[in-house]
Amino acid sequence: MTRLLITGGHGFLGSAVKREFEQNSPHLSQVHTFRSSEYDLRKRDAIKALLSDKKPEVVVHLAATVGGIGANMKYPGTFLYDNLIMGAELIEQCRIFGIKKFVLAGTICSYPKFAAVPFKEDEIWLGYPEETNAPYGLAKKILTVQLNAYKKQYGFNGITLLPVNLYGPGDNFDLESSHVIPAMMRKMDAAKRAAQESVTLWGDGSPSREFLYVDDAARAIRLATERYDASDPVNLGSGSEITMKKLAELIARTVEFEGQIIWDSSKPNGQPRRSLDVSRAKQFGFTANVTLPMGLQLTYQWYLDNFAKLQELFMSSGKGEQPRTSK
């Protein structure tokens, strides 16, 4: 039997990953999670205490300081330092403690700004990331280098997974820090409730993105943990690309918002295109199951079911887009 530790296990992705392992990995004896208030992964002594207390054999590292474009532009030092120091210290202590396997959740923000589409894992080293999220992307990228170096020098078994943009029930709908799908969904729902004639969205609508339903991502992480041991990073995505303009139209239909969508081209677009080559993930049996229209319906239904609770949370939250650390 195996003891598993998930960092960020109370966050959006982490909660889904914990549920996935508990439901589909009968060989696990324990699945440990914790909150950042208990063990601060930016501090070496806290990591030592965590590993000593939980005694894991496998670590899945999902904890990260994250946010939207605005937060990445305002707090680049925070995004670089927090993500780099958490990962680097955790990997080093896991090596020292004799952890059998380390699974790193990287980011497609590590890809070059003008990477050829679809993104192929071997081309992640061919250029500098998109400027608005480069510190975050580079911090995660160096952790992949660290895992490869540790495998060569110490025989440490570490793998890197590169999830595309995630969404689904339980996502962050705070407009100050949310990513694109929950932000669009909440804006259009609010506009519909207020009988507003339009909503304004950032950019010009031309960039494309790929999205992966959170439960699909959790299943991919479990399968990779159980079946994949190579040093090569692996894209986790749906294999389907959509422009922001078409995404907005699809969300409007999901929410039943019939007003005008206005694009504010004075705001940044971010990376021009994001679409992944997902063939490598098929080596360990992963393909996405949930289509974008289906996933949006499930996500919006969750939002409606939790609307009152979310409104209380929004009212009590502070102002200004801040970095968020997954719990």
Tokens of 165: 């943009």
DSSP assignment string, 207-257: -EEEEEEHHHHHHHHHHHHHH---SS-EEE--S-EEEHHHHHHHHHHHHT-
3-class SS at 186? helix
Same domain, 142 and 229: yes
> Domain for residue 286, yes or no?
no
3-class SS at 92? helix
Same domain, 254 and 155: no
Residues 6+ apart with CB under 8 A from 262: 198, 199, 200, 201
Same domain, 176 and 259: yes
pLDDT at 31: 96
Q: Which residue has the tokens 């806290």?
A: 46
pLDDT at 72: 83
Same domain, 139 and 257: no
Number of residues written out for the chain = 327
Tokens of 202: 């950032």
Same domain, 225 and 250: no
The CATH number of whichever domain residue 314 belongs to comes to 3.90.25.10
> Domain for residue 282, yes or no?
no
Is the previous residue joined to 118 through a cis bond, with omega within 30 degrees of 0? yes
Same domain, 65 and 160: yes
> Domain for residue 67, yes or no?
yes
> Domain for residue 27, yes or no?
yes
Residues 6+ apart with CB under 8 A from 321: 67, 68, 70, 71, 74, 176, 177
Same domain, 160 and 189: no
In whole angstroms, what is the distance from residue 303 CA to residue 179 CA?
A: 15
> Domain for residue 129, yes or no?
yes
Q: Which residue has the tokens 């990997």?
A: 91
Q: Which residue has the tokens 């969300």?
A: 251
pLDDT at 1: 66
In whole angstroms, what is the distance from residue 97 CA to residue 310 CA?
A: 40
Q: What residue type is 87 in one-letter code?
A: G
Is residue 15 within 8 A of residue 170, CB to CB? The reply is yes
Same domain, 85 and 222: yes
Same domain, 218 and 298: no
> Domain for residue 300, yes or no?
yes
Domain count, the chain: 2
What is each CA distance from 220 to 17, 107, 113, 171, in whole angstroms? 9, 14, 25, 18
Same domain, 221 and 314: no
The helix or strand, by DSSP H or E, that contains position 311, with its residue range, turns out to be helix 307-316
| This model's pTM is above 0.85 | yes
Same domain, 200 and 213: no
pLDDT at 313: 79
Q: Which residue has the tokens 């590993």?
A: 51
Q: Which residue has the tokens 């030592």?
A: 48
327 residues of the chain, pLDDT tens digit each: 699 999 999 999 999 999 999 999 999 989 999 999 999 999 999 999 999 999 999 999 999 988 777 778 889 999 999 999 999 999 999 999 999 999 999 999 999 988 899 999 999 999 999 898 899 999 999 999 999 999 999 999 999 999 999 999 999 898 877 789 999 999 999 999 999 999 999 999 999 999 999 999 999 999 999 999 999 999 999 999 999 999 999 999 999 999 999 999 998 888 788 899 999 999 999 999 999 999 999 999 999 999 988 888 777 765 445 666 665
In whole angstroms, what is the distance from residue 259 CA to residue 234 CA?
A: 40
Q: Which of 39, 75, 111, 136 is catalytic?
A: 136
> Domain for residue 283, yes or no?
no
136 is catalytic: yes
Same domain, 95 and 189: no
In whole angstroms, what is the distance from residue 106 CA to residue 234 CA?
A: 9
In which domain, by residue range, is 201 found?
168-208+241-272+291-325
List, in sequence order, every beta strand (DSSP E) within the chain: 2-7, 28-32, 58-61, 65-66, 101-105, 158-163, 165-167, 198-202, 208-213, 234-236, 241-243, 260-264, 324-325
The CATH number of whichever domain residue 148 belongs to comes to 3.40.50.720
> Domain for residue 280, yes or no?
no
Q: What residue type is 48 in one-letter code?
A: K
Torsion of CA 293, 296, 300, 302, to 10 degrees: 120
Q: Strand 65-66 relative to strand 324-325: parallel, antiparallel, unpaired?
A: antiparallel
